[in-house]
Amino acid sequence: MKKKQKHIVAKVLPDSIAEELGLEPGDEILKINNEEIKDILDYMFLVQDEEIVLTVRTRQGEEVDVEIEKDADEDLGIEFENDFMDNYRSCKNKCIFCFIDQMPPGMRETLYFKDDDDRLSFLQGNYVTLTNMDDDEVDRIIRYRLEPINISFQTMNPELRCKMLNNRFAGEALKKADKLYEAGIIMNGQIVLCKGWNDKEELEYSLSQMYKYVPVLESVSIVPVGLSKYREGLAKLEPFNKEDAKEVIKTVKKWQDIAYKEHGIHFVHASDEWYLLAEEELPDPETYDGYLQLANGVGMITSEREDFYFEYNDFIENYKKDYDHKAVKITCVTGKLAFSLIKEMAVRMEEALPNLTIEVIAIRNDFFGELITVTGLITATDLMNQLKDRELGDSLCIHECMLRSGEEVFLDDYSVSDVMSTLQVKVDIVKSNGGFLSKILEIYDRNK
């Protein structure tokens, strides 16, 4: 039997309702409006009412009910020992495409954890397979209107889905999407395409079935399976080629035309890799319906380019060139996928700023294997090995996606400081959403 999680107060925020009530660290929150709290979602939604009754067990062991009147949606000002107020749900599948199964040994433990938790879908945008949800959890999603929920469909063929996820219940789990659709819960979908498995006719079938959920299903991303060099003992999967990519794009365009004509949305989107592999132009910005699938690499290049030129055009009109500025060299590193975009932006900055040189280097992914071309999977090991004999200039620019969220640590546990020490260069971190221009300008002005 699963042990019930205790919801212990870790901190009471100053000038909050909780402080006014006299709540203290060590107190335990038992119920809200006589309903037991399962996790952070229960807490978030139960405290929204203007009038609530909070059942508390004080750190002295006394159980009391506290009546509270407040503004709607006003927070109580409590931080808990466990921010999530529950344990994360791990994935029970053994998907043939899972990248975590392709990780090398010896990395930090958290990188091997597979989550399949609908609560993280709502809170952080993670994708879930629906195999880890019971009917009560589906009902709770509907009751609280936890939307959008992001679903890893992979295929709408129940039998094939069982094989791809290595879970005999994976096909049956698709019925939960029917229930979410009927309740009007907004969904986004994902298909990790595996050559010879869920592509071609199977992809056509899946899109025809998923199209029935439109417009409640706002978007579906088609992404190619990521293949690292650590696949011993795993399912045999092949990389896609140029002709495969062209076929995927053709299928996507067909369903986009249908969806836009009937619903005014494009419904299905191919990730940027397909267009680069097919050597075709990326779609216009309007095609991405507000970039609903950026986290899956759908429209990432187009979005970054838009952000850059929005700032660049204003910058060009107002910036006075300093032709006496000393020479400045910046080295920018990126994955192969984003190289052409970074190079384009670098050339624009060189044109705008006198005596500026920007060298853009595409880092080969030796750590995971050369088939991995995204910037976010570049390690410090590859950076240091491939840059150690180069003249890097005044700064080495890396993108923040290479680092652990909120920390200056790479996937292989080396720090930014380690890279600076090894390469003897100042490292500057470029933020997402248009951060390239401002970072280059910062470095340029710093080196007057």
Could you tell me if residue 216 is inside a domain? yes
Burial class (CB in 10 A: 0-12, 13-18, 19+), 118: buried
- Domain count of the chain? 3
- Domain containing residue 338: 303-446
- The verdict on residue 384 lying in a domain is yes
Question: Last residue of a domain, which of 18, 52, 80?
Answer: 80
**Whether residue 105 has a cis bond before it, omega within 30° of 0:** no
86 part of a folded domain:
no
382: pLDDT strictly greater than 90: yes
Asked if 135 and 275 sit in the same domain, the reply is yes
- The alpha carbon dihedral of 77, 81, 86, 89 has a sign of positive
Verify that 200 and 239 share a domain, yes or no. Answer: yes
Asked whether residue 211 falls in the same domain as residue 284, the answer is yes
Domain at 155, CATH number: 3.80.30.10
Measured CA to CA, the distance from residue 201 to residue 248 in angstroms comes to 11
Among the candidates 262, 278, 296, a domain finishes at: 296
pLDDT reading at 17 higher than 80: yes
Same-domain check for residues 253 and 350: no
CA proximity to 103, closest of 92, 113, 116, 90? 113
Mean pLDDT lowest among 277-291, 314-328, 422-436 = 314-328
**Same-domain check for residues 288 and 309:** no
Model pTM? 0.88
Q: What is the pLDDT of residues 263-280, one digit of tens each?
A: 999 999 999 999 999 999
Averaged pLDDT, 206-231: 97
Per-residue confidence (pLDDT) for residue 1, from 0 to 100: 42
Per-residue pLDDT reduced to its tens digit, 156-199: 999 999 999 999 999 999 999 999 999 999 999 999 999 999 99
The answer to whether residues 43 and 129 belong to one domain is no
- Statement to judge: residues 113 and 163 lie in one domain: yes
Does one domain contain both 256 and 278?
yes
124, 242: one domain: yes
Domain end marker among 248, 275, 296: 296
